[in-house]
Structure 1
Amino acid sequence: MTIAEGLGAPIWAMKRKGSRSPMAGVGRVEMTNALGNTSRCYFDHWGRLFKNENALGEAVHTVFDELGNLVSMTDPEGFNTTFTYDRRGNLVETADAMHRITRFTYTNAFNRLASVADALRNRTEFSYDSRGNLREKIHPDGGRESWTHDAAGNPASWTNCRGAVVAYQYDAAGRVIRKDFADGYAAIYRYDARGNLEETEDARGKTTFSYNEHDYLVRVDYPGGRWLQFEYDGAGRRISSEDQLGYTVAYYYDDVGRLARLSGPAGDIVAYDYDPLGRLAQKTVGSGVYTTYAYDAAGRPLEMFNHAPDGGVLSSFAYTYDRRGRRTAMETHYGNWTYRYDDAGQLIQAVLASSDPEIPDQDITCDYDALGNRVRTVINGIEEAYSINNLNQYTRVGDRTYTYDLDGNLIREEGPDGSTVYTYNAENRLTGVTRGGDTWDYFYDALGNRVGVEENGAVIHHVHDPVGLGNLVGEYDETGSLLVRFTHG
C-alpha cells in the first residue's frame, strides 16, 4: 500500500512486513492498495479529517468547530447530520438528515450524563452519588434501575426494574469473586496468582480453567465430566482443540497468519482463500461445495456465488449500491430485487421481479415513525400496522400482541394460533418458554452461558468454547451421549 501527500509525492510506503518511512505534513493523503484502487483523505491545518473519499470518488465531508468538536457530517448525496455542544464540550443535540433531534443534558457535579431525550421526547434520566457513581437510571416508562457502590467505587449491588437485587463481592484487586441473587442463587469466582480466572462455581457444579506459561487457556473442565483442551503455536494461535470424546479439530494458517483451513478426523471441515487485500475470496467446505466472493473498489460485497463441487452454480447474488453505500439492487438466481430508501437511509420499498415460477413477485413498502420504528408495512397489497410503546418496543403487529415486564423483557405473545409465555432471571436472561402444552426451561453457568435446556422433561446439556465469542460446540443428552457437534472457524 502506497500513501502520498499533497501533489502525490510518496510520504511513506507500507511494505509486506509493515516497515515504513515517516509521514510528514498535512493536506491530501492518497492510499493505493494492492489492486490499484486509490482512496483519499484530506486534512485541515490542525490535522483533522475534513474529507474522506473512497476509490469510487464517494466522499464524506466533516466540519469541526474551533475546539475540534465534530459539528457536521455530510454524506456523498449531500445529506447532513449535525452535532451541537455546550461550553464544556458535551454533546447536547444531534439532528439527522430528516431533522430528527436527540437531546442530552449533563450534571453540574462531575459533568455526568443526566438525561437523553429522543425524537419522540421519550426521556431517560440518570442520577449519581456524591462520588460520581451511577446511582439510578429512570427509563421512559418509569422503570427504575439502581446501584450501590463500595468504598473503591465497585458496584456493590444492582436492583433491576422488577426489584430483584444482585449483590457483588470483590477481592483486593477489584475482581468479582461472588454474586448473590435474591432467589438464593450464588456464583463464585476464583483466580490464580497471575490473575487468570481458574474456577467458577454455582449450584450446577464447578468449571475449572487451566493455562500454560504464556497464560493461554489450555483446558476447561465442565460439570458432568465434559472438557475441552487446546494447543497453540509460537505466535499464540490455536492449532488444535480436543473434547472428552477424543474429537480433535486442527487449525492451519497461511504465511501472514490468516486462518486457512480447519480439519477434523474425517478430513477438511472448511478452507479459506483470500484476495490480495486480505478479504475472503473463497470458502470451501468439506463436501466440496464452495462459495466465491467479489468486492467493488470501495470494499463492499459485489458478488457471491455458491458452487457445487463440479463448479456448477447453486445460487448467485450480485449487489448494486448508491453513493451512500445503500444496496439498491440485488440480482439473484431466482430474480431481481430493487430497493428504495428515505433520506435517513431507512428501507421504504423492496420489489422482487421473480424469474422462478415457484416464487411470486413481491412488493413490500414500509413506513416509520420519528425514531425509525416501523409503524406500517404493506406486503403485496396487504397492510399490517404496528403499535409501539415509549421504550420503542412493538406492542402490536397486525393481529399479534406483545407484553413486556418492567425490565423490557417480552413476557407474553398473543396471536390467532395461541399464546406464548416467557420468563427471565434477575440478569434478564431467558429462563422459560411455555407454548400450548410444551415447555422449555433454560439453565446458565456462572459466566452467563446457556448450559442446558429441559424440553418437555428431556434435558440437553450445552458445552461452549470459552475463547472469543463463547460459541456452542456440543450438545449432550442426560447420559452424556453426543447429540450435535458444532465447529467454528
Structure 2
Amino acid sequence: MVADSFYGSTGAVKRANETYYAAGAASDELLTVTNGDVANQTRYEYDGLGRTTAEIFTIAGYEQWRNTTSYDGNMTHSDPPPGGVATTTVTDAEGKVKELWHYKGHTPVPTGPGSERTVTKYTHTAAGELATVTDSKGNTWRHDYDQRGRLVRKVDPDAGETILNYDESDRLTSTKDAQQRILSTEYDSLGRPKSTWEGAVSEGTKLTETRYDRSGSLGYSHASYRFLPNGEAYSTVVATFDTFYRPLTTNYTVPASEGKLAGTYPFTTAYNRDGTVASTGVPAAGGLPTESLKYTYDELQRPLTMASATSTYVTGTVWSNTSQLLQLSLSTGGPRTEKNFYYEKGTDRLTRATVKVGSTATVAKDQHYSYDQSGNVLSITDTAAPASSSTLDVQCFAYDGQARLVDAWTPAATATTAEGEGTIGGTADYAGKKPTACDAAPSTNPLGGPSPYWTSWSVDDIGNRTQEIRHDPSLNAAKNTTRTFTYQDGDQDGTPGETGDGGPHQVTKVAETTPTGDRQQTYQYDVSGNTLKRTIGGDTQSLDWDATGKLTKATEADGAETSFLYDAGGARIKRTTADATTLYLPGMELELKTGSTAVTATRHYSYAGQTIAIRTSDNKVSFLSSDHHGTGDLAVDAVSGAVTQRRTDPYGAARGKLSPETGTWPGEKGFVGGTIDASTGLVHIGAREYDPDLGKFISPDPIIDFTRPQQMNGYAYASNTPVTLSDPTGLYDCNNGVALNCDKKGNQQVNPCPSLVVPACNGGAVEKASNEVAAAEGQQARAQQRFKSAGKQLVKIVMDILGISAALDCFSSGDLAACGETMLTIAGSFAGGIAGKLLAKYGMPWNMHKGIQLAKQVTGLLKDLFGGLKAMSKASERLNKARANLAKAREKALFAVDTIKSAVGRGKPKCHSFLPDTEVLLADGKRKKIKDIRPGDKVTVTDPKTGHTVVREVSGTIVTEDDKHFVDLTINSKSLTATTTHPFWVVSENRWLQAGELTPGMTLRTASGTTATVEDVRYFGRRQRTHDLTITEIHTYYVLAGATPVLAHNCSTNLFSAEDQLNGFISKVEGADGYHDVWIHGSPDGVAPSFNAAEGGSTLMNHRVLAGLIKSDSNYTGGPIRLCSCQTGASRGTFAQDLANKLGVEVLAPNGYLYVRPNGRMSIGREGAALGRSHFGGEWVSFLPGGGR
C-alpha cells in the first residue's frame, strides 16, 4: 500500500495520491506511477502568498470537482462542489475567527443578491480563550476562565449554567449544573480518578469507583464499580492479564438484589502471537450455552472466518487490495447468506449492497446509492423486487442550501427509471447517475413502491424543525398531515431560565392538523435542558434524570414505570419495566420476565465492524443486514433461509409493516443500532434518548462543535441531515457514507463515529478491535487516564485554533464514556491537520518560534495520546455497542416506538362520537359546539372514580366523516345523539358503558355531581360526520342534553390508562359454558386497547394488563378464559399464549372473524348467521399454560 505527496518549488504540496495498491515486493528503487494508475488524487493550487486557492479532486487524472478558496482582506471565502455549504470566515487583527458565515445559496456572495446567510459570531478573552459564541438568532454560549486559563464557568442557552472547580494540579474536582447538583471526582496520589460522587467527596452519594495497581498489572486499572443506593454494586473486574497487560478474563458481576439475574459472568479473550485476537469467550446464561468464537486471518491480519465449536458463522471473507470489505459469506451449516459491497472508484463511496440467500443465490436486497459531489445521498433504490412501480423501492432526497434534508419521497418507477448509482456530475468514465424517477418534483408524479411516502420538512436558521408535512400517498393535499413546531425563545443572553420555560432549541408544542381533526403535543424541560414532561394524545409522560444527564425513570399517565441503570462508564446496564428486567452484558442481553424464574438470553455476533447475526433464547440464529447507517433492514433465518424485511424513513420511523407481515424481527435493535424502548416510546441511541416522532434527541448534546452552527443545536439529529449523516453515539455526527473516513492504513479515522457501514474502514486495527469485546472493556480503564491527561492539554490548543470546547465540557457531565469520545474527536482534529494550522497561524517571522514550540508540544502530546489511542478507540466502540442494548423483543416493539407514544402523528383512530352541533361544557361554564372546539380550549373534566373535577386543555380533535350507527338518548326530556360505541359513565353501574348498551332507567353523572336518568333509547342508522376530543391527562368531558351536562369518555389516540381499563371500559368478564367470556376488541396484530380501534390495526394491549383486569373483576372465579375478540390477532400471535401463562388457565381465542352484534350475539363474519355464545365450537383455538394446545 503506497501513498504519495509531491511538492512544488515553494515546498507546498502540489499533488497528493491517496493510498493505492502497488504490486510486487518493496525495493530500494523509487516507485513511479502515472496519474492514471491512481484512483484518488488531489491537486492543489496557490496564490502568490502561498495560500491555497483550489483543491481539485481527480480520478485517474481526470478532474471531477474542486473546492475553491478566495481571499479578501480579513475574509476567506470557501466555494465547495455542488451539495456543499459555502462559507466566509472573518478574522480579527490577531487572526482569530470573529465571524463565520454559512450561505443559504451554493456560492459565497458577501453582498447583494444571493448573500442570504447565517452568521455565527465569536469573541475571545485577552489571553485568546474563546469567550462567547452567538448564533444567528442571538443565542449566546459563554465561557469564563480563571487566571490559569482554566474554564470555570460556562453558560449554555439550553442547558443553563455549569460551574467547574479544580485542584492545585489543574484536575477537575467538581461541577455544579443549572439545577445546583454537584458531581465530584476523587483522585489517588498519582492523579488518577478514584471515585465519583453526587455531592462532595466522602459526604455525598458515592456513584462509582475505579481501582488500580493489582499485582501483575501495576499502573493499570483492573476494576470499576457502580454503586446502588443500598450499597451493593455492579462491577467489572479484569481477573487475569497476560504478560503484555492485555485482559484475558473479565468478570461482570451483578449484585444479589437482582435475584435470578445476579451472579458473575466471565468473558475471555485469547491472542495470537501477532497480537490478533485468537478467540473470544462468552458465558452460558439464559438458556444459551457458553461459546468460544475463534477467528482466522490472512497474511495482512484481516479476518477470514469466525466459528465456535458448535456452529460456524462467517465461512468466508473477501477483501480488496486496499482492504475494503467486498464480501461476507455467512452460514451455520444451512443455506448460505452472502453480503456483497461495491464502491465507487476514487471516492470509495458505497454504491451498492446486496444480500443473496440460498443455493440459488436469491437476491433479497439490492440497494443502490447515488450522491452529489459533496457526498449528500440523493437516492437509495432497492431493485431486488420485480421491476414494477408497485414493488421497486426508490427513495429520493432533496436538501436546502445548508445541506439539511427538506424532502424525502418514493416515486413510482420502472426498472429503467430506477437505475442509478454513484456520484453525479463527474467527468470521463467516472460520472455516476441519479435515478431519473427522482428528477421530477414529488408533487408532479405519483408515489409508488411497497411503502410509499412523501415527507417535507422546514428548518430555521438555528436548526429547529418548524414544519413537517406528511403528504397523502395519493397526493390529495386535503388529506395531508401538517405539523407546526413551536419553540420557546428562552433567555438569549445565556442566563438559564425557569423550569418549563424552554431554551431556544427546545420544542414546546407541536400543533397537528389532519383530515380527521386537530391535536397538539406539549413538552416541558428542566433548567439543564432535559425533557421533563411529554403530553401526547392527552397522556402526560414524566421523565426523571440523574446528575450525569442520564434518563433514570419514565412514568406513564397510568402510573406504569420504566427505570434505567448505568455502569461506571455511563453505558446502560439495566432496564426495568412492569413486564421484565433486562440486563445488558457485552454482546448479550438477559431478560427476566416479571413473576417468572426463567432467565432468557439474546446473543449478538459482531464481525468486521458489523453485527452479523443474532441468537435468541430458542437457540434460533438469524443473519442480519443493515443499511448504510447501521439500521437493520433484513433478517435471514439461518436454517430455513426465510427473509424478513423492514423499512424506515430518514428519521427512523417505521415505514409500513414487516414483509412478510407474518414475520418477526429478531431483537429490538432499531434506528442506527439503537434500542427500541417500547414502554417509553423512545429509542436509546448511544449516550442519549431519541424521539423518532419528533426526529430529535430529548436532552442536549454534551459535545458542541462551535465551528458547525447546525451541530450547535443540541437536540437536532445529525444536523437535520439524517440520510447523509448519522449519530449512532448520541454525541457527534458521522458521515459513514464516505469511505474517506478511513486513514491510509484502512483504519477508521480517530473520531467518535463507530464503523457501522463503511466496510473500507475495517482493514487495520479497528477491524481487529471489532472482535475484542472483553479486551476493549478492560483496556478502556487503563488507557483512559493517559489519554485524558494528554487530551486536556491538547484541547486548550484546539480551543485557541478552532473554538471547540467539547473536551473540557465533557468532564463536567460526569460521563466517562462521553469524555472518551471527546478525546477521540480532539485526536481526530489533529489527525486532520490542525497541527499544520498551528504553523500556519504562527508562521510569520515574529511568531515562528512560538509556532515551532507549540508544534513540538503537540507532537509530544500526540505521541502520548496515541499511546493509548488504539485501546481507547476499541473500548469506545464497544461502549457504543453496549449502549445499543440489543434486548430480545418481538417485531411489534418496532412499531410501538412510532405508534404507542406517537399515535397522534401516524395513527388513524377509529373514534366515533357526537354530531357536529352537540354542545360541550367549557371550563368557564359556557357552552361551545363540538365542531368549533380547538386544541388549547379548556373544558371541565371529572375523574369518575374519585369524583375530582378540574379544568383541562383539549389536546386534539377527531373527525369521522362517515359514521353509520347512532343512538338517540332522551335525558331530562332532551335529546342527545351519539354513536353506539361512545362510552358514558353510568353511575348506577359504576362503570363505563357504550351508548348502545344504555337502557332506560340507568343514571349518568352530571357536572354538578348529581345524576340524570336515561329516559328513552332509540337506535337509527345514517351516514353522518361526527366529532370527538382528546383531553389532557383525565380523559373525560361533558356533553349537553339540552341544559344537562353528562360525563362522556374522550377519544385518546394512545393506550387507555389503567384507570380507564379498571373502570370496566375494556374488559367484561361473564360466565358461560364453563368458560369466562372476556369481551375485548381485537386487531389483526393482537388485542387492541379499545372498542374504537377497529380495522386497520392499532396499538396493542399488554397481556399483563389484561390479566390484572380479569383478576380484579368480581365476576371472575379463576376458571378458563374465552377471549371474545373480534379479530384473529389474539390467536395468530403470542397474546393468548402469554395470557394463558400469566393466568395459569386455558385460554380460547377465535381463529375467524368474530362479529359482536348490538344484541350481544355473535356471528362468523359480518354477514354470518347470528350464533349464541355457546355455539362457536370449532372456531376456537385452545392455548394451555406452558405452551400446550
Please tell me the TM-score bracket, short chain as reference: 0.7 to 0.9
Moved more, 435-444 or 38-47: 38-47
Query: What CA deviation, in whole Å up to 9, does each residue of 1:31-52 have, x standing for no partner?
Result: 666xx52423215485858414
In structure 2, the partner of 1:289 is 337
Q: 1:61 aligns with which of 65, 68, 81?
A: 68
Give, as a single letter, the amino acid of the residue that structure 2 aligns with 1:149.
Y
In structure 1, the partner of 2:294 is 250
Moved more, 398-407 or 478-487: 478-487
In structure 1, the partner of 2:400 is 342
Q: 1:268 aligns with which of 312, 324, 330?
A: 312
Relative distance call for 1:169 and 1:13 in structure 2 (3 A) is same
In structure 2, the partner of 1:415 is 536
In structure 2, the partner of 1:468 is none
Moved more, 12-21 or 475-484: 12-21
Query: What CA deviation, in whole Å up to 9, does each residue of 1:151-205 have, x standing for no partner?
Result: 0001111112221111111123321011111362331111125422111234214
Partner of 2:348, secondary structure, is: coil
Q: Which runs of 5+ in 1 are unaligned?
A: 465-471
In structure 1, the partner of 2:602 is 484
In structure 1, the partner of 2:89 is 83
In structure 1, the partner of 2:825 is none
In structure 1, the partner of 2:122 is 104
Moved more, 312-321 or 324-333: 324-333
Contact 1:31 1:38 in 2 (8 A): no
Please report the RMSD computed on the Cα atoms of aligned residues, expressed in angstroms.
3.4
Moved more, 121-130 or 334-343: 334-343
In structure 1, the partner of 2:245 is 215
After superposition, residues 33-432 of structure 1 pair within 5 angstroms as 37-44=39-46, 46=50, 50-55=54-59, 57-63=64-70, 71-77=76-82, 80-98=86-104, 99-108=117-126, 110-141=127-158, 143-182=160-199, 184-192=205-213, 194-203=218-227, 204-209=233-238, 210-223=240-253, 224-245=263-284, 246-270=290-314, 271-286=316-331, 288-297=336-345, 298-309=347-358, 310-333=360-383, 334-354=392-412, 359=450, 361-380=452-471, 381-389=480-488, 390-397=503-510, 398=512, 399-416=520-537, 418-432=539-553
Partner of 1:162, secondary structure, is: coil
Query: What CA deviation, in whole Å up to 9, does each residue of 1:263-312 have, x standing for no partner?
Result: 23432323542233322222333362222221222221211222222311
Relative distance call for 1:339 and 1:30 in structure 2 (3 A) is farther
Partner of 1:96, secondary structure, is: strand
Contact 2:534 2:541 in 1 (8 A): yes
Contact 2:16 2:42 in 1 (8 A): no
Give, as a single letter, the amino acid of the residue that structure 1 aligns with 2:588.
V
Give, as a single letter, the amino acid of the residue that structure 1 aligns with 2:297.
Y
Relative distance call for 1:22 and 1:101 in structure 2 (3 A) is farther
CA distance in 1, matches of 2:3, 2:143: 48
Moved more, 260-269 or 305-314: 260-269
CA distance in 2, matches of 1:148, 1:291: 52
Moved more, 269-278 or 356-365: 356-365
CA distance in 2, matches of 1:445, 1:96: 40
CA distance in 2, matches of 1:156, 1:187: 14
TM superposition score normalised by structure 1: 0.86
Shift of 1:421: 2.1
CA distance in 1, matches of 2:160, 2:467: 28
Contact 1:201 1:446 in 2 (8 A): yes
Q: Which runs of 5+ in 2 are unaligned?
A: 9-13, 105-116, 228-232, 254-262, 285-289, 384-391, 414-446, 472-479, 489-502, 513-519, 608-1189
In structure 1, the partner of 2:880 is none
Shift of 1:124: 0.8
Percent of aligned pairs sharing the same letter: 19
CA distance in 2, matches of 1:360, 1:217: 48
Query: What CA deviation, in whole Å up to 9, does each residue of 1:297-328 have, x standing for no partner?
Result: 22212112222223111122212222332222
CA distance in 1, matches of 2:327, 2:547: 44
Comparing both chains, which one has the higher relative contact order based on Cα–Cα distances under 8 Å and sequence gaps of 6 or more? Answer: 2
Give, as a single letter, the amino acid of the residue that structure 2 aligns with 1:51.
E
In structure 1, the partner of 2:1025 is none
Shift of 1:21: 7.5
CA distance in 1, matches of 2:28, 2:72: 33
In structure 2, the partner of 1:449 is 571
CA distance in 1, matches of 2:159, 2:15: 60
Contact 1:30 1:38 in 2 (8 A): no
Bigger proportion of residues as helix: 2
CA distance in 1, matches of 2:525, 2:71: 42
CA distance in 2, matches of 1:315, 1:456: 38
Contact 1:294 1:304 in 2 (8 A): yes
CA distance in 2, matches of 1:65, 1:253: 55
TM superposition score normalised by structure 2: 0.37
Return the index of the structure with the highest Cα Rg: 2
Partner of 1:257, secondary structure, is: coil
CA distance in 1, matches of 2:139, 2:361: 55
Relative distance call for 1:213 and 1:324 in structure 2 (3 A) is same
